[in-house]
Each structure stands twice: as structure tokens, then as C-alpha cells.
Amino acid sequence: MFPRIPFRLKTVDDLLAEAARIGAVLPFSDDFSVFREPQTIGRVTLDNRFAVNPMEGFDADENGTPTERSTRRYDRFAGGGASLIWFEATAVVPEGRSNAHQFWLHEKNVSQYAEILARSRRIAKEQHGHDILAIIQLTHSGRYSKPDGRAAPIIAQYSGVLDPVTGVTPATPLITDDALDYLQDDYLRAAELAAKAGFDGVDIKSCHGYLLNELLGSHTRSGKYGGSFENRTRFLRTTIARVREEIPQLIVTSRLNVYDAVKYPWGFCSTPEDYRRWDLTEAKQLVAEIIKLGAALLNVTIGNPYFNPHYNRPYELAIRGATAYNEHPLIGVSRFCEIASEIQQAFPALPMITGGCAWLRHLVPYVAAGLIKNCKLAFFGQGRGAFAYPDSVRDILARGEMSPKKVCTTCSGCTDLMRRHQPTGCVIRDRER
Ligand SMILES: Cc1cc2nc3c(=O)[nH]c(=O)nc-3n(C[C@H](O)[C@H](O)[C@H](O)COP(=O)(O)O)c2cc1C
């Protein structure tokens, strides 16, 4: 095991000194007034720049319907004060669930999704006097599908690095082009249901190693969904175009992996010479295309939480039994910020959101303000922090600070629960979960 790097930073000066010591470049600002600058997306004007990033609870019932436990999570998110709530990964087909208790939206439970969303809107209005923007993340778990708790991978291509750790063998079939064509209809149907439930928008999720993300890096696949840039991005582009055309009232967005950090030819935007370096050329080409197709927002992310979690969610403690990487978490935070900034700066007119900063604990607001003020990101999103300390937004806006006693400690306890197929939540700060 590599040594743990404990969080010892107390002040902003400590943070800046530590960043300088290890050569990490961080966006930084102490001008918190930027958090209150309004931002318009579609028809909604939001009164602050905070978002809850999608965080799976694995607490739906076996039919994918939100339960009381799910309702409590969203009540806490809405009560926290973020103006943008990105509802978690929600399967579009049962075989694409990563867990028997993942959200799954279908005709028979749309009213329960409408209910949980209506509560969030009501709570946000009552407690903060604002309207929220609600996006729902539509997903197919692809290689990580486990609809009844056992691995049942559905893959876009074989991978020299991911197959050995995901139970994929040469006998595992590739998803066919026909099945991918039909799957777009499932996304469309789920998007229609999302509109019916009252969501403002849908995220055609293309990140974190799941099916649509795997397609983006499917250099070795043949046929119309693999090989060339045009083919690898076809599914996402076509689905976005179809949602825009068939359900024009919905905002369409994607949580997009702009860099997988997976060795070429099995990943998206990793340089062929060294997967630890990124080349965002194709990511930018794709963003340009989806803007043309009508995407109104982009959620920028990187990495694969199963394979290289230090890219996707820099942490102090690795999950139990997992390899701990020999990298200072601040390097991970700085990489996330640098990449998100590069994408935002290439497309200044498209509002973007990013995150990945929980390791910073109570110093999060300084980097969040830096991302917004200096790098022009539209929103700052919290993931693990929203489980641990949903009221942090309220505290930052009201008092200009987060309580060090309430922050996420990046102990990986929530990810560990996920891996053990248990309902997630913060194991340290939320004992009632
Ligand atoms: C328990 C858990 C559940 C998550 N669920 C989702 C999800 O449903 N969809 C998604 O895109 N990312 C998901 N993520 C990733 C987070 O949204 C976020 O990108 C990550 O935790 C890094 O940001 P942070 O430092 O603010 O936590 C999840 C992460 C964790 C730890």
C-alpha cells in the first residue's frame, strides 16, 4: 500500500503553500460574490452557482422506484440550497442497471419520480425562495451492469485493461449495432417520461466507463459505432439530436468524460503514447458537435471510478481492499480543474459544471470560486460533499464558510457501500441514513 496523505490544511494559506510545494496549479478566489450571480439555462434563471452532482443511492425498490430513503436524500439536497440538482444515474432499461436497487424510470413509476421532484421543488422554494433546475441522468451501465447483483457486462469493445477486472472474457458478446439502434428508442422513451415527471432536462450520460462512455473510446470496434470519431460518437450525437427534435421542451445535456485515463486504444482522449496524459482534441470536437445539436449545458468529468478512482474522485482513503495510488490527492483535484477549465474556455458560451473537489474539505469554496471567477465555469457541483453536508451551500452563501466539522472526509465509505451493493450515503456524517 502507498502511504495515506492525511488532510492537515487549516487555512487558505496552507492550501496555497501545499499546492506550491507539490507543483499543483489550482484555480483560486476569495471573491464569493460570484456564487450569487444569476445564471440562465433554458427558461430558468438560477440564483446561485451551486449544483448537486449526481449521487446514486442504490435505494430504489426492485422495480427502480424511489423509496422513502431516496426521498430523504433528495429532500436534503433541495434543502441544502444548490440551485441545480442533477438527479442520479437512472437506468433506461432493466438489464442496464448497475445494481438491483438503481433508479430505473419506466411507465409504471413515472408518478413516483414526479412526486420526488415536486417535493424537491417545493422544499427549495420554501427554504430558499428559489426555483431549481432539475436534470435527470439517463444511463446504461454497460460493462458495469449488475441488474440482479451479479456481473452481467454489456460491452461495446473488448479492452486489454478493463476486461480482466470486469469479468469480461472472449465469450462475452459485444452489443450489436442493431441493439444500439434500439437502445436509442429506450433513451427517447425515458426522456419522454422524464418530461412527463416534470424534469427540466435529461443528461445522456456518457461518463465513468458506462456504455455510452465506452462507445466514445471504442477504437477497436468495427461497424457504425466504432473506429472513427464519427462512428464512436454516433450514439451520443444521434440520441441528443432525437431528444431535441422529439421533445423540444426538454433541456438536453450530457455528463461527459472528456478524458478516460485508460490506455489507448481502449479509452477516450488519452494520448496514445501515455494514457496518463490527455489530449482533449476529440472531446472538443464532440462538444462543438453537441452544441450544434442543441445541448444547453455540459457536465464535465474524467476518469473511471472502478479503474482509476484517483482521477475521478481524489480521496484520502481508498476503498477497502483497493489499490491506493501513489498520487497526492491535490494533484487529482488540480487535474480535474485544469481539464474542466480547458473545455469551458474552448466554449465560453456553453454553461458548464464540474466538481471533483471534495478532498479540499472546508477549503472547497475557494477553489469553487476560482473555477467560476477565473475559469468561467457556470456551476460548481458537489458529489460526496452533498451526502456529508448538504447544507454547505446554505452556509457558504450565508456565512462565507463551511464548517470543518461537517465536511466530507473523502474516506471512500460511500463508494465502499456502492461496491457492496448497499444503499449509499455518508458513513461519517449521516448516521441516520
Ligand atoms: C456514492 C457515489 C455515487 C455516485 N453516483 C453517481 C451517479 O449517479 N452519476 C454520476 O455521474 N456520478 C456519480 N458519482 C460521482 C460524483 O458525482 C462525483 O463526480 C465524484 O464523487 C467526484 O466529485 P466530489 O469530489 O464532489 O465527490 C458518484 C460518486 C459516489 C461516491
Q: Which ligand 1 atom lies nearest to the CA of residue 412? A: 31
By DSSP bridging, strand 379-382 and strand 352-354 are parallel
Residue nearest to atom 29 of ligand 1 (CA): 55
Buried b (16+ CB within 10 A) or exposed e, 179-216: ebeebbebbbebbbbbbebbbbbbbbbbbbbbbbbbbb
Query: What gap in Å lies between CA 17 and CA 330, rounded to an integer?
Result: 12
pLDDT at position 217: 98
C-alpha angle with apex 88: 279 to 162, nearest 5 degrees? Answer: 45
Task: Determine the distance separating the centroid of ligand 1 and the alpha carbon of 222, expressed in angstroms.
Answer: 32
Task: Determine the distance separating the centroid of ligand 1 and the alpha carbon of 355, expressed in angstroms.
Answer: 9
Per-run averaged pLDDT (10 residues), the chain, 433 residues? 82 97 97 98 94 98 98 98 98 98 98 98 98 98 97 98 96 98 98 98 98 98 98 98 98 98 98 97 98 98 96 93 85 98 98 98 98 98 98 98 98 95 97 88
Residue located via cell numbers 441493439 = 179
pLDDT at position 269: 98
Query: What gap in Å lies between CA 87 and CA 197, rounded to an integer?
Result: 12
Task: Determine the distance separating the centroid of ligand 1 and the alpha carbon of 360, expressed in angstroms.
Answer: 16
Residue nearest to atom 5 of ligand 1 (CA): 55
Residue nearest to atom 2 of ligand 1 (CA): 55
Helix (H) or strand (E) holding 301: strand 297-302
Q: Which ligand 1 atom lies nearest to the CA of residue 208? A: 11
Task: Determine the distance separating the centroid of ligand 1 and the alpha carbon of 96, expressed in angstroms.
Answer: 18
Contact criterion met (CB below 8 Å) for 255 and 234 = no
pLDDT at position 5: 86
Cα R_g (the chain), whole angstroms: 20
Task: Determine the distance separating the centroid of ligand 1 and the alpha carbon of 14, expressed in angstroms.
Answer: 27
| C-alpha cell belonging to residue 369 | 470560486
Task: Determine the distance separating the centroid of ligand 1 and the alpha carbon of 100, expressed in angstroms.
Answer: 18
pLDDT at position 2: 58
Testing ligand 1's pocket by substitution, the residue of 55, 136, 414 carrying the most ligand atoms inside 8 A of its CB is: 55
Contact criterion met (CB below 8 Å) for 344 and 338 = no
Residue nearest to atom 6 of ligand 1 (CA): 55
Task: Determine the distance separating the centroid of ligand 1 and the alpha carbon of 313, expressed in angstroms.
Answer: 8
| C-alpha cell belonging to residue 53 | 452532482
Task: Determine the distance separating the centroid of ligand 1 and the alpha carbon of 411, expressed in angstroms.
Answer: 14
256 bridge partner residues: 206, 300
Query: What gap in Å lies between CA 391 and CA 401, rounded to an integer?
Result: 11
Packed helices 68-80 and 110-128: angle between N→C axes, nearest 10 degrees: 30
pLDDT at position 11: 97
Phi-psi region of 88 (alpha: psi -120 to 50; beta: other; left: phi over 0): beta
Domains and CATH numbers, the chain: 12-419 (3.20.20.70)
| C-alpha cell belonging to residue 346 | 474552448
Residue nearest to atom 16 of ligand 1 (CA): 383
Find the Cα–Cα–Cα–Cα dihedral 200, 202, 203, 205, rounded to 10°: 160
DSSP 214-242: HHHT-TT--STTSSSHHHHTHHHHHHHHH
Q: If we measure between CA atoms, which residue out of 272, 359, 363, 376 comes closest to residue 318?
A: 359
Residues in contact with ligand 1 (CB, 6 Å cut-off):
53-56, 88-89, 137, 207-208, 255, 301, 313, 355-358, 382-385, 414-415, 418, 424
In degrees rounded to 5, what are phi and psi of residue 249? Answer: -75, -15
Contact criterion met (CB below 8 Å) for 190 and 138 = yes
In degrees rounded to 5, what are phi and psi of residue 63? Answer: -95, 10
Instruction: Return the half-sphere exposure (C-beta side, CA atoms, 13 A cut-off) of residue 333.
Output: 29
Testing ligand 1's pocket by substitution, the residue of 97, 258, 301, 313 carrying the most ligand atoms inside 8 A of its CB is: 313
Task: Determine the distance separating the centroid of ligand 1 and the alpha carbon of 208, expressed in angstroms.
Answer: 9
Q: In residues, how long is the chain?
A: 433
Task: Determine the distance separating the centroid of ligand 1 and the alpha carbon of 325, expressed in angstroms.
Answer: 19
Residue nearest to atom 22 of ligand 1 (CA): 356
